[in-house]
Amino acid sequence: MTLRGGWRLLACSACLASHAISAEPASAWTDQVTLAGDLRLRYESIRKEPGADDDRGRYRARFGLRVDATDAVEFGIRLASGDGNPVSTNLTFGKSFSPDNVRIDRAYVAWSVNDALTLTAGKMENPLTRVGDNPLLWDSDLNPEGVAASFASGRFAGTAGAFRLDDRDDGVESWLYATQAGVEFDVSASTTFSAGIGWFDYTGVAGKAPLFGDDANGNSVDAAGNYLNDYDILEFFAEYESAMGRWPVTLFADWARNTRAARGDTAWATGVTVGKAEEAGSAEWSWEWRDTEADALVGIFTDSDLADGNTDSRGHVLQGTYMLTGHVAVAATLIFSEYGLIDDPHTDFDRVMLDIEFSF
């Protein structure tokens, strides 16, 4: 770790810890602790051409707690199934009944400095905005590690963060320095429109091995398998929320460009969600289109489901969710995608996922 990065993490963590220790607890410990968890069972069918088809059963299990140490400071930890992949906590049935892995998915402390500003340090829920909850830049399972400051007041909101990616043996570290800012307008009593901009500066990437495993997930690599490009990504995003009768409706658009790539540098997504699956008997339906050129984004952090988690891809995602009770949901997802678009032939990749999820 560089001195600058190390001091940043230590200083922020020490500051948050000192406030947790020095302030008086808000109430008895039973009122300070919140438990939450979920279990998802999934049937998944993959059709790949060229390549082998696959039908499998999978599951995801997560359990965490949050402690309100004071009125202003909270800390939390969450355990999750998984094999270490930063964008998936799914595990597949069929390993001769061998025990599966449980890992630390989140471990953080957060300090609400005031009503507008929150500082967070550790392995945290992604603080960056994903309009329409779309995973164009960031998969929904991604939990970055580092420090972040989030601000929201009136119409304005923003986030800045420094996240550590890789501490290599040669002393060259990779970091992500992220900034987003946006504004929201009330169009009417039931309609809002928001828009914003983001800048994501990845350091120590070009000429280095992939950030996870040995697969660059569609990004361009040299003969040794190392990244060809650095990634300094500019993002513009917008979201429109309204209602169609009793059904809430969300429209979004997201566009990004890697300013360090000579070609294959642009990605975009758009989609719509109708309804909101929150309570028993409620449902939501969504459609998204995503198009990501090879070096527009860092492949390992984008959606792991569309195009088998690769850039240089495009496709449709259709999803429906229905709440059987307030804590049990069923969902179906259809993905029609293709990747390796610069190759001849490219790969067609279609996926069906059927889920039942229990949560508390």
Instruction: Tell me the DSSP string of 319-345.
Output: EEEEESSSSEEEEEEEEEEEE-TTSSS
Q: Give the span between the Cα atoms of 310 and 304, in whole angstroms.
A: 8
Position 116 scores a pLDDT of 97
pTM reported for the whole predicted model: 0.90
Half-sphere exposure (CA, 13 Å, Cβ side) for 232? 5
And the tokens for 264? Answer: 């294959």
Position 18 scores a pLDDT of 55
Question: What residues have CB less than 8 Å from 3, skipping those under 6 apart?
Answer: none
Segments of the chain scoring below 50 in pLDDT = 1-4, 7, 26
And the tokens for 180? Answer: 């987003």
Position 3 scores a pLDDT of 42
Q: Please name each of the domains of the chain with its CATH number.
A: 3-359 (2.40.160.10)
Position 169 scores a pLDDT of 78
Residue 22: its H or E element: helix 3-22
Closest among 100, 168, 163 to 128, alpha carbons compared: 163
Q: Give the span between the Cα atoms of 59 and 358, in whole angstroms.
A: 11
**What are the start-end ranges of the E strands in the chain?**
33-49, 54-68, 73-81, 91-92, 102-112, 117-123, 145-153, 156-167, 173-188, 191-203, 231-244, 247-258, 266-275, 283-292, 313-323, 328-339, 347-359
In contact, 333 and 16? CB cutoff 8 Å: no
Q: Give the span between the Cα atoms of 242 and 83, in whole angstroms.
A: 40
* Other Cβ atoms closer than 10 A to 23: 14
Count Cβ atoms within 10 A of the Cβ of residue 287 and give its class: 0-12 exposed, 13-18 middle, 19 or more buried: middle
In contact, 117 and 80? CB cutoff 8 Å: no
Question: What residues have CB less than 8 Å from 121, skipping those under 6 apart?
Answer: 9, 12, 13, 16, 108, 109, 110, 146, 147, 148
Residue 3: its H or E element: helix 3-22
In contact, 70 and 26? CB cutoff 8 Å: yes
And the tokens for 2? Answer: 């560089």
- Token match 């504004």: residue? 183
Closest among 161, 135, 165, 143 to 311, alpha carbons compared: 135
Chain centroid to Cα 265, Å, comes to 21
And the tokens for 60? Answer: 């995801």
Q: Give the span between the Cα atoms of 329 and 319, in whole angstroms.
A: 13
Closest among 85, 90, 128, 121 to 106, alpha carbons compared: 121
Residues 211-235 have pLDDT tens digits of 999 999 999 999 999 999 999 999 9
